[in-house]
Amino acid sequence: MRAVQNANISAEPAAGVSFPESTEGKRSSTDAGKHILAEAVRRTDAQAAEALLAERNWRQRYPAHLVHQEKLAAREAAAATNIAADGLKAVHSNFEFARDDMVLPLGEAMDELAEPRLQTVTVRGKLQFAGPRLQIPYRGERLSGDKLLRQLNQWSGRGIMEPSHAEAIRTVMRNTEWLDLSERTFILLGAAAEIGPLAFLAAHRANIVAADVGRPQVWARVLELVARSPCVLHVPVREPSGAEISDSELAQRAGADLLRETPELGAWLESFENPAAVGCYAYLHGKDHVRVSVAMDALVQRLHAKGSPAAFAYLASATDAFAVPEEAARCAHERYGGRGLVGLWQSPVRWMTRERLYAPNIPDWVTSDTGQRYGMYDGLVVRQGPNYALAKRIQKWRALMARATGHRASANVAPASMTGSVISNRAFAAAYAGARHYGAEIFAPETTNALMGALLVHDLCCDSSVANPDTPLANPLELFMSGANHGGLWRSPLQIRSVLDVAAVRGLLSKPSAARQRPAPYSRLQRAR
């Protein structure tokens, strides 16, 4: 979960990837977002598209429209891919790229401005590889073997993660040879993101192509991490370098801006042959999160057109709308009905607040055209805002289309984590601290990154993974159901949006907790951005 800033309206394009200009001559993230989401659903439900465009209270009502789109996709497999395809088409037909006094359609800019200005510096880690072994940092320990198996059983038994997530980790533990990544190259867009696989991949000898903003403090942390690993890191620099360059000098010169140097990054990334996967992990606040998601998708689309990579990787947010497995939905229903005395006083509060408080988590069901029954989970948090929701939706759309066109797509739901952006926002930090009272677990970033990194390896190596396009699915949305680690939100009796404020109060009143814990050193990368 992320804090949100209000969207701005500007008459001038932002440098680099820019929202489109409206008929009124303004560049509004709200207008652009509504247009893209309406075009995504128009072929499937024209009435829903018009209702979305007519919505006047978009800031508060956007969740209802996104949940409706998810229902349409869950009912019919063709709708899921149509919405994704049309949504991406709307994104790339409307976004622009601004440089100096020139504004081009984004696609044209990716071709016309793709000059080979970036050079590569390769850095090798200094740590000897200790051999492939899965270890998960958790509450001061590094879990492996039987301890890790017991913890997986505990998480799964409590409903913190789906059983398929725990089983995927067990599969990696049974196939430790997968964890030697020395023959695989990973392109990481937003490599220094606080929630991302950089540390995990580095620890397992991967070849990493790192794209991130050119800020010395960011790269100093990245290079420090790499030095304490057995990986190989490829870094973009603007000027040619000599045979030798110190880490401190490299930190000053490394990096390229995903938003402003998107075409040049595209040309640079094409120079790496046969990458195993490209992963999109960059995060920015407010409307810039949409811009950077579009920038990453432009890079992904360019690589896809050139025939690489073999796989695409994303982390979906648990605070989104999903069709969820029938068993998970039944669990949420049973827990809601089993609240006992607590439910007796929550029910009238729910009625008096018109379900603003203590609403049931999964009130609706959908039966698909293949006969599958799914629960409809609405985990959207209004405080995060529609820009955050759109940014994550673009990534989900691309994952669906990558798989539909024969590529592996690792797109797993990651749990809410106590990141630097959360710690810096008192309201969210308090809500996270109180989340345990409602059956949720908030993870430390290093735990999230290790679990999701292991799941990425599983998706690339396991033939039966849902990431594999040859694995049959009843509905494309099952890509996000399998392997989900939602931190307990899918199986909670209460909708997260309806208890967030109450959880914040309970968090503020609680003793020192996760809200006051500092993340591990390598998880602070994003805070320097």
* Helices 287-305, 77-94: inter-axial angle, 10-degree rounding: 100
Q: What is the pLDDT of residue 518?
A: 40
| Residue 4 confidence (pLDDT) above 50 | no
Q: What is the pLDDT of residue 11?
A: 60
Mean per-residue pLDDT, 194-219: 98
**What residue type is 370 in one-letter code?**
T
List the one residue out of 447, 439, 420, 448 whose CA is nearest residue 515: 420
CATH of the domain at 358: 3.40.50.720
| Residue 298 confidence (pLDDT) above 50 | yes
How many Å apart are CA 154 and CA 143, to the nearest integer? 13
pLDDT tens-place string over residues 124-160? 999 999 899 999 999 999 999 999 999 999 999 999 9
Count structural domains, the chain: 1
| Residue 239 confidence (pLDDT) above 90 | no
Q: What are phi and psi of 450, to 5 degrees?
A: -70, -45
Q: Find the domain containing 240 and state its range.
A: 1-529
How many Å apart are CA 398 and CA 411, to the nearest integer? 10
Q: What is the DSSP letter of 288?
A: H
| Residue 1 confidence (pLDDT) above 80 | no
pLDDT tens-place string over residues 485-513? 999 999 999 999 999 999 999 998 875 54
| Residue 369 confidence (pLDDT) above 90 | yes
Q: What is the pLDDT of residue 241?
A: 65
| Residue 267 confidence (pLDDT) above 70 | yes
% of the chain exceeding 70 in pLDDT: 93
Q: What is the pLDDT of residue 3?
A: 40
Q: What are phi and psi of 6, to 5 degrees?
A: -65, 140
| Residue 40 confidence (pLDDT) above 60 | yes
Cβ distance 45 to 30 under 8 Å? no
Q: What is the pLDDT of residue 89?
A: 99
DSSP secondary structure, 220-254, as one string:
HHHHHHHHTSS-EEEEEESS---S---HHHHHHHB
Q: b/e for 390-407, b at 16 or more Cβ within 10 A?
A: bbbbbbbbbbbbbbbeeb
Q: What is the pLDDT of residue 528?
A: 35
Q: Where are the beta strands (DSSP E) in 79-181?
A: 96-99, 102-105, 119-124, 136-138, 141-143
DSSP secondary structure, 422-453, as one string:
HHT-HHHHHHHHHGGGGT--PBPHHHHHHHHH
Q: What are phi and psi of 366, to 5 degrees?
A: -135, 135
pLDDT category of residue 242 using cuts at 50, 70 and 90? low
Cβ distance 177 to 171 under 8 Å? no
pLDDT tens-place string over residues 61-93? 999 999 999 999 999 999 999 999 999 999 999
Name residues whose C-beta falls within 8 Å of residue 472's C-beta, 6 or more positions apart in sequence. none
Cβ distance 209 to 178 under 8 Å? no
Q: What is the pLDDT of residue 523?
A: 34
Mean per-residue pLDDT, 40-58: 99
Stated pTM of the model: 0.93
Q: b/e for 481-506, b at 16 or more Cβ within 10 A?
A: bbbbbbbbbbbbbbbbbbbbbbbbeb
What is the chain's mean pLDDT, rounded? 93
Mean per-residue pLDDT, 365-387: 97
Enclosing H/E stretch for 375 = strand 373-378
Mean per-residue pLDDT, 47-69: 98
How many Å apart are CA 396 and CA 388, to the nearest integer? 13
pLDDT tens-place string over residues 395-433? 999 999 999 999 999 999 999 999 988 878 888 889 999
Q: What is the pLDDT of residue 515?
A: 39
Beta bridge partners of 136: 143
Cβ distance 471 to 403 under 8 Å? no
Site of tokens 């390769």: 122
pLDDT tens-place string over residues 423-458? 788 888 899 999 999 999 999 999 999 999 999 999
First CA to last CA distance, the chain: 18
pLDDT tens-place string over residues 183-192? 999 999 999 9
Q: What is the pLDDT of residue 238?
A: 87
